[in-house]
Structure 1
Amino acid sequence: MEASGLAIIVILVVSFQLFPYMVNGERLAPTAFLAGFGNEALITICALMIMGKGLEATGALQPLAMFLAKAWTARPKLASLATLGIAAILSAFLNNTPVVIMLLPMLIGVAVRNKFAPSSILMPVGFATLIGGMATTIGTSTNLLIVSIAADQGLEPFGMFDFTLPVLMVGVVGVLYLWLVAPRLLPERKQPLSDRSPRVFNAMFHINETSAACGLTFAEGLALTGNEMRVDRIERGDGLSVTKLPLVKILAGDRLAVRDTPDRLKRFEKQLGATLHGALGADDVTSETHALKDLQHLAEIVVTRGSLLHRATLVGTRFARRTGLLPLAVHRAREPGIEEISGDIGTTRLRAGDVVLVQGADSQLEQLKRSGTVLVLDGTTNLPRTHRADRALVIMILVVLAAAIGILPISVSAIVGVGAMLATRCLTWKDASGALSAQVIMIIVASLALGLAMTETGGAVYIAQGFVEGARLLPTPFILSMLMLVMAILTNVVSNAAAGIIGTPIAIQMARELGVPAEPFVVAVIFGVNMSYATPFGYQTNLLLLSAGGYKFSDFMRAGVPLTALMWLGFSIVLPIIYDL
């Protein structure tokens, strides 16, 4: 995505340099397309990302998660509703990524403890954060961008809570759907971290001289597993692949690439006398005095953007030496558009949403959780919390209050908040830089450049006029509804930031063509682009849900499309009433 964003910027700059375009007698400077890097909304988004990381790293929201965990034990049905409501409320003021990251381990632990499928609650909670994110100007980065563009186009600046009322009215219905209906639509995926976990991992069995399979033929090796093991390939030496013929000998040093569930992989490891960890740092964590010799525990680590493993390899990060954990296998969702794992898991570059199966002592897992560098799912409800958590929470509350009351613009307030978190050591400079997503930044800058090109060249006017001409005989509320539906469809195909930035000038021009206030059309764009429910790629947290919940692509369609229709119909009724259209 970063490459696509950069390509768009390069194409625009080069095109307008080679083919000058005049606006009101003046040339549109190619450098104007680079102004997005200094855009106030982008800087605000980056500051809020960093502050969200501060809350995540300090465990500021841990008491709330623990309260919900206890509620799940006592009254599961009401706890489910409370979790959805709290997730939505938090996401109105925080980036929803730290909210989801906070709740995921707790919900997985609750599911394991109470023996129910986490798939029934993880996706609804993720969607609840998207609903809550619609409610304020700072709820999502896209909201900030859209209201900033609207102000640049001459509209009265939006207040933080200017479109909270319609979200409250329709969002309540959406949350009730997520509570009562969505869990019934979602297939029951078995619990992760259990013997029946359906998640399939890519693993590599390493054969040594003492392995039972060493010296046997391939067919005899399979027989050791009851012919249940399915080998993708046999690797020998540096990059040599051996044909899987029945009479091929299995030699010491060979590596068998296998895809299977955790319990079956561990069983095959024992039957073959092989090792799953191989050269991934086993010597660093399995000395005679190491805790692994006494107590072993399986856990899953979800790779998130900005984490220790994102776009890195297990070998390159020296994961085993740094964490004291053995990486055994890697799971990557087999869905359209996602490249499958084909090489050694140790040298595979990991991406957001990948799941690493690890083995280690409870103390090592707890230490990794406290580091805040990755998302650990180990079946417990314990979350990391530091003595700086209260400071981080107070700083975040003051930032939001200062912006809401009007003491400071949100851009200034957020930057001051980042400075305060760094000064109070809630964050390190490394944490702050790691919180920034190059992908998000490039998409936003490229989208701002496209939006500028559309506005200055008259493209937005042309599209708006065509849309209005085609629907001139229809009532304004219907046109507003159609605009929102188009945005809802577009946001599930491309980035919601791109959809919002491109859609906003078109929406404003449509309102001008119709001779009606532009505010409801801008709000319709905000609501439409936040309906990222139908695909796992609609929003970055959806990828976390895809991995952690063991979902399939079709599950998002199954639960997300009805929610999209419900929210669209609700806003189509409410917006014309509120704005008197």
Structure 2
Amino acid sequence: MFYGFVSGRARVEIISLLTISAIALGLYSFPLPGQAPTDGLRLAFEGFGHYALITICALMILGRGLVTTGALEPASRLLTRVWRFNRQVGLLVTLLLAMAMSMLVNDTPVLVLLLPIMAAIAANGGMAASKTLIPINSAVLIGGMATTIGTSTNLLVVSIATDLGLPPMSVFHFTPIVLMAAAVALPFIWLVMPRLLPDNSVAAGNEPRRFNATLRLGGTSVARDLDIDGLQKLLPPEIDIRAPQSQGRLPVSGTHAALEEAMRVLGATAAPAWLMDRLHDGYGRTGEDLTVVELSIAKDSGLIGRGMATANVAERYNVALLGVHDAKRIRYDTWGPLPHPGAEPVFGEGDILLATGAMPDLQAFARAESLLVLEGAKELPRTAKAPLALAIMAGAVIPASIGVVPIAISALAGAIVMFVTGCVRFDRIGRALSAKVIVLVAASIAIGRIILDSGAAEWLSSLMAIGLQYLPAAAVLGAVMLFVTILTNFASNTTAAAVGTPIAFSLGQKLGIPVEPLVLAVLFGCNLCYATPVAYQTNMLIMSAGDYKFGDYTKTGLPLVAIMIVTLSGLLVYRYGLY
């Protein structure tokens, strides 16, 4: 299984299913002493019904609810403002925010949220993305290590340890230990890591695409009484005002992200308010989320030579046009004022439209008008449900953290409430759940059981005990953590957890060391996956975005691994009185 993961010759799901099959067939043909052949089948497949897997799936759904409702959007707006104030302070706040969010939300959604923010900040004169993404990823991984629900690996280790007899751990059981280690590692991540990484900003590509749009100011908008100077103070720096407002209509140009921020600040819409209300009402009837897409106009499109008003897209396709990128103009800041506020340029070949609507309507529009749907379609968050999603997440985490109910029960209840309230649509559950994670966790549970039941854990721990019996407790904990760290950086961290946890139990009994700190050493080691791009999915996620090479991970990851192993080992010795 390790070889399969490292070689990369087959997908993780395939290797995991083959592992489960090998265990099932092997134990059926050669059952363990005192067991029937069918006992092996139960051992191999029980991972699919294990409460740890149910908990992981429920937490994925809760995380999806926070994303689809835009509950995390205020955090992204805060980051943008801080980076404009100071780059170093911006990076520090980003690291702290990434740690905090990943303590309660799975690592991957947190990084997916931060990626476009950091790309936009880099494009607007901030620090190069190649100097920020690895440090931010490291902060996300450290934050995920801090709670039992921070990553699926943590849940797996805790659940296996509980099955083996260790008392259950609360959500924040070992959080103080990780936070103290994070305080030691933070100066390295913040001040040293960016200096060790290359500046790949030249290879980052073109400037963000800019769109011309007309913002409709609502009747209660404070912006209706402001002049151009007053409006410019409210608007993001990336927004250019192309003409004074007239009758609540303000012609502007800016990036997609800047236009969204401008609409939020001014309480405006880029399409008629009645049309946006109609599109939002359509969700209640059809269940289709609104999506924003970029559409390129082909040379045979019927839109060429027509403008937004004459194209009549709203009535014909139930789609709203938010803005247009004119392919023939390179610099938009050289545009003079429009002839009059109502004037709109006509569409031409190669122009790119920013449009929103239900995805089936957008696809029908693209087919009928010979438009090419560009990559990067983005679902509009259902912001009205953002407070509800945050309340549901809090209702799932807080009772489990204070020990009122098990996390499996509270997370499952929270996931059901997400469905009932519409924060997550039932037919979109596939976007929340990962088949790879589900099969991998099930295979890892089976691996952990067979290693324990077959005596492999006893045998491996005996070998390790021979070399570790004369070492102090801190060195033993550090050695266990290093052993699991090596596994997790070159194989699957869930598999390393499944192998390491039973070994920790057996090793503790042989060396007379309490089991809990050894289990925590395994849990921490599984999260120290900084040194290779294949160690964790978020490492791979940032590789192309930062244009990183394998050596960039090693150069920054190995020192961080060393800092964390030394610090965490010392803290475990102090916490459990193993001097």
Q: Please, what TM-score do these two structures have when normalized by structure 2?
A: 0.70
How much has 1:105 moved relative to structure 2?
1.0
**Structure-to-structure mapping, 1:82-101, within 5 angstroms:** 82-101=93-112
How much has 1:385 moved relative to structure 2?
5.8
Equivalent position amino acid for 2:151 in 1 = T
How much has 1:17 moved relative to structure 2?
0.9
How much has 1:283 moved relative to structure 2?
7.7
Equivalent position amino acid for 1:532 in 2 = C
How much has 1:48 moved relative to structure 2?
0.4
1:248 equivalent in structure 2: none
Question: How far apart are the structure 1 equivalents of 2:534 and 2:366?
Answer: 31
Change beyond 3 A, Cα 1:471–1:21: same
Question: How far apart are the structure 2 equivalents of 1:286 and 1:473?
Answer: 81
Equivalent position amino acid for 2:198 in 1 = P
What's the % identity of the aligned pairs? Answer: 41
RMSD over equivalenced CA pairs, Å? 2.8
Is 1:45 the counterpart of 2:56 in the alignment? Answer: yes
Is 1:104 the counterpart of 2:115 in the alignment? Answer: yes
SS at match of 2:478: helix
How much has 1:386 moved relative to structure 2?
2.4
2:178 to 158, 167, 179: 167
Question: How far apart are the structure 2 equivalents of 1:136 and 1:6?
Answer: 29
How much has 1:428 moved relative to structure 2?
0.7
Change beyond 3 A, Cα 1:536–1:281: farther
Is 1:434 the counterpart of 2:392 in the alignment? Answer: no
1:376 equivalent in structure 2: none
Equivalent position amino acid for 2:429 in 1 = A
1:532 to 517, 529, 532: 529
Question: How far apart are the structure 2 equivalents of 1:558 and 1:447?
Answer: 30
Q: How many residues align?
A: 434
Report if aligned partners of 1:111, 1:191 keep a CA contact under 8 Å in 2. no
SS at match of 1:110: helix
How much has 1:321 moved relative to structure 2?
5.2
Question: How far apart are the structure 2 equivalents of 1:99 and 1:543?
Answer: 15
Report if aligned partners of 1:22, 1:28 keep a CA contact under 8 Å in 2. no
Equivalent position amino acid for 2:149 in 1 = I
2:217 equivalent in structure 1: none
Change beyond 3 A, Cα 1:318–1:389: same
* Unaligned residue ranges in structure 1 (runs of 5+): 198-279, 300-307, 309-316, 328-357, 360-364, 372-383
Is 1:459 the counterpart of 2:456 in the alignment? Answer: yes
How much has 1:188 moved relative to structure 2?
0.6
Is 1:134 the counterpart of 2:145 in the alignment? Answer: yes
Between 1:132-141 and 1:17-26, the stretch displaced more is: 17-26
* Cα deviation code 1:498-530 (max 9, x no counterpart): 111111000111001111210000000011010
Question: How far apart are the structure 2 equivalents of 1:440 and 1:68?
Answer: 30
* Cα deviation code 1:450-501 (max 9, x no counterpart): 1111111111111001110122222232121111001111101111111111
Question: How far apart are the structure 2 equivalents of 1:106 and 1:392?
Answer: 22
Equivalent position amino acid for 2:546 in 1 = G
* Cα deviation code 1:303-350 (max 9, x no counterpart): xxxxx9xxxxxxxx99975999747xxxxxxxxxxxxxxxxxxxxxxx
Question: How far apart are the structure 2 equivalents of 1:408 and 1:577?
Answer: 30
Question: How far apart are the structure 2 equivalents of 1:492 and 1:408?
Answer: 34
Report if aligned partners of 1:81, 1:179 keep a CA contact under 8 Å in 2. yes
Equivalent position amino acid for 2:109 in 1 = P
Change beyond 3 A, Cα 1:143–1:393: same
Report if aligned partners of 1:281, 1:320 keep a CA contact under 8 Å in 2. no
How much has 1:434 moved relative to structure 2?
2.0
2:565 equivalent in structure 1: 568
Change beyond 3 A, Cα 1:115–1:71: closer
Change beyond 3 A, Cα 1:298–1:407: same
1:413 equivalent in structure 2: 410
2:130 equivalent in structure 1: 119
* Cα deviation code 1:255-311 (max 9, x no counterpart): xxxxxxxxxxxxxxxxxxxxxxxxx99589784258564584699xxxxxxxx9xxx
Equivalent position amino acid for 2:58 in 1 = A
Question: How far apart are the structure 1 equivalents of 2:127 and 2:510?
Answer: 54
Report if aligned partners of 1:492, 1:532 keep a CA contact under 8 Å in 2. yes
Is 1:15 the counterpart of 2:12 in the alignment? Answer: no
* Cα deviation code 1:73-118 (max 9, x no counterpart): 0122112111101110111111011111111111111111125311
2:554 to 544, 553, 557: 557
Q: Please, what TM-score do these two structures have when normalized by structure 1?
A: 0.70
Question: How far apart are the structure 1 equivalents of 2:156 and 2:300?
Answer: 47
Question: How far apart are the structure 2 equivalents of 1:409 and 1:151?
Answer: 12
* Cα deviation code 1:176-220 (max 9, x no counterpart): 2111000000011115664499xxxxxxxxxxxxxxxxxxxxxxx
Equivalent position amino acid for 2:86 in 1 = R
Change beyond 3 A, Cα 1:564–1:73: same
* Unaligned residue ranges in structure 2 (runs of 5+): 1-11, 209-295, 312-323, 326-346
Is 1:517 the counterpart of 2:514 in the alignment? Answer: yes
SS at match of 1:114: coil
Question: How far apart are the structure 1 equivalents of 2:41 and 2:555?
Answer: 45
SS at match of 2:124: helix
**Structure-to-structure mapping, 1:320-335, within 5 angstroms:** 326=372
Question: How far apart are the structure 1 equivalents of 2:544 and 2:58?
Answer: 28
* Cα deviation code 1:382-437 (max 9, x no counterpart): xx562222211111111111211222211111111111111111111132222111
How much has 1:370 moved relative to structure 2?
2.8
Report if aligned partners of 2:21, 2:44 keep a CA contact under 8 Å in 1. no
Change beyond 3 A, Cα 1:405–1:80: same
Question: How far apart are the structure 2 equivalents of 1:319 and 1:545?
Answer: 34
SS at match of 1:160: coil
Change beyond 3 A, Cα 1:61–1:324: farther
Question: How far apart are the structure 2 equivalents of 1:178 and 1:131?
Answer: 11
Change beyond 3 A, Cα 1:59–1:323: farther
Report if aligned partners of 2:48, 2:442 keep a CA contact under 8 Å in 1. yes
Equivalent position amino acid for 1:439 in 2 = K
Q: Moved runs in structure 1, 4+ residues, more than 3 A?
A: 23-29, 191-197, 280-287, 289-299, 317-327
SS at match of 1:29: helix
1:469 equivalent in structure 2: 466
Equivalent position amino acid for 1:59 in 2 = G
2:82 equivalent in structure 1: 71
**Structure-to-structure mapping, 1:244-323, within 5 angstroms:** 287-288=303-304, 289=306, 291=324, 293-294=347-348, 296=351
SS at match of 1:388: helix
1:497 equivalent in structure 2: 494
Report if aligned partners of 1:23, 1:456 keep a CA contact under 8 Å in 2. no
- Which structure: greater helix fraction? 2
Equivalent position amino acid for 2:40 in 1 = A
Question: How far apart are the structure 1 equivalents of 2:56 and 2:493?
Answer: 14
1:370 to 379, 382, 395: 379
How much has 1:59 moved relative to structure 2?
1.2
Is 1:544 the counterpart of 2:522 in the alignment? Answer: no
Question: How far apart are the structure 2 equivalents of 1:286 and 1:126?
Answer: 46
